[in-house]
């Protein structure tokens, strides 16, 4: 199953480095692609996953995801694209499970939606560290024109993934329980959970249920993913606001 690019009526930001690019994320996959491909056996291995793991479900983010997936595919790299919103830890798990060479999350993290961006991950499921980060930036600096970007083609390199990976991830989480018998014994422990309008709603309630807890209450007012964070002053849970 391939993933055709979605059309959008949004007005994405312009890139200061490439003013003709309608999404500033565009040079990133174009630059990361050659670095992934230079790795041993990378041409025949499953490669970057453009994870729809952002808590900002806006058309701009969806466009960024499709651009990322299509650019990687056009560069001859196999892409696993999540069908919809997913939390970042599942991306890290999936990179390792599918033996990918890397991964991508389009997200603003816990910041306001104006910080929407591109996070690159390595084959260990962690974000890029030296020297890989510097090598990717070096590829960015080599791009002098938007005309050098391969925007489309080879859509057959894109595979949609979703529920099957969710189940594998949840089983892994369940297996990490240190005292599973305690969870079963305390199954009616009252738990209140809020995703604060983020992507955790996709898997946290299911994870708690799979572990054995059956008295979980989700804060409904904050359960819907929304990059505007309408119920909080600032979305970072580390802040008192």
| Residues of the chain scoring pLDDT < 70 | 1-61, 110, 241
Q: 33-64 burial, b if ≥16 CB within 10 A, otherwise e?
A: bebbeeeeebeebbbbbbbbbbbbbbebbbbb
Token output for 172: 């892994």
* pLDDT number for residue 219: 97
DSSP secondary structure string for all residues of 79-133: EEEESS---HHHHHHHHHHTT-SEEEEEE-TTS-GGG-EEEEEETTSSBP-TTHH
pLDDT of 51:
43
Give the pLDDT confidence of 151-171 residue by residue, as tens digits. 888 889 999 999 999 999 999
Among the listed residues 69, 49, 60, the one whose alpha carbon sits nearest the alpha carbon of residue 5: 69
Q: What is the DSSP string of 5-54?
A: PPP----PPPPSSSTT-SSTTTHHHHHHHHHHHTSTTGGGS---EEE---
Residues linked to residue 49 through DSSP beta bridges, in sequence order:
103
Give the pLDDT of residue 56: 41
pTM for the full model?
0.76
| pLDDT at site 96 | 93
Active site residue ranges: 109
């Amino acid at each position: 199953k391939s993933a055709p690019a979605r059309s959008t009526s949004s007005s994405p930001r312009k890139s200061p480095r490439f003013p003709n690019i309608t999404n500033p994320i565009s040079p990133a996959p174009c630059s990361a692609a050659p670095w992934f491909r230079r790795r041993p056996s990378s041409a025949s291995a499953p490669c970057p996953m453009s994870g729809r793991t952002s808590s900002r479900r806006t058309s701009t983010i969806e466009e960024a995801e499709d651009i990322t997936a299509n650019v990687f595919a056009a560069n001859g790299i196999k892409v696993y694209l999540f069908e919809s919103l997913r939390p970042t830890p599942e991306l890290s798990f999936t990179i390792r499970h599918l033996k990918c060479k890397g991964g991508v999350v389009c997200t603003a993290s816990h910041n306001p939606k104006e910080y929407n961006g591109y996070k690159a991950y390595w084959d260990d499921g962690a974000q890029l560290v030296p020297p890989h980060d510097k090598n990717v930036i070096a590829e960015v600096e080599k791009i002098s024109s938007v005309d050098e970007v391969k925007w489309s083609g080879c859509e057959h390199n894109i595979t949609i993934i979703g529920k099957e990976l969710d189940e594998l991830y949840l089983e892994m989480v369940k297996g990490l329980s240190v005292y599973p018998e305690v969870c079963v014994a305390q199954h009616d422990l009252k738990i209140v959970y809020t995703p604060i309008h983020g992507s955790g709603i996709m898997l946290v309630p299911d994870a708690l249920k799979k572990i054995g807890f059956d008295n979980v209450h989700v804060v409904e007012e904050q359960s819907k993913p929304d990059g505007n964070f309408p119920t909080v002053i600032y979305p970072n849970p580390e802040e008192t606001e």
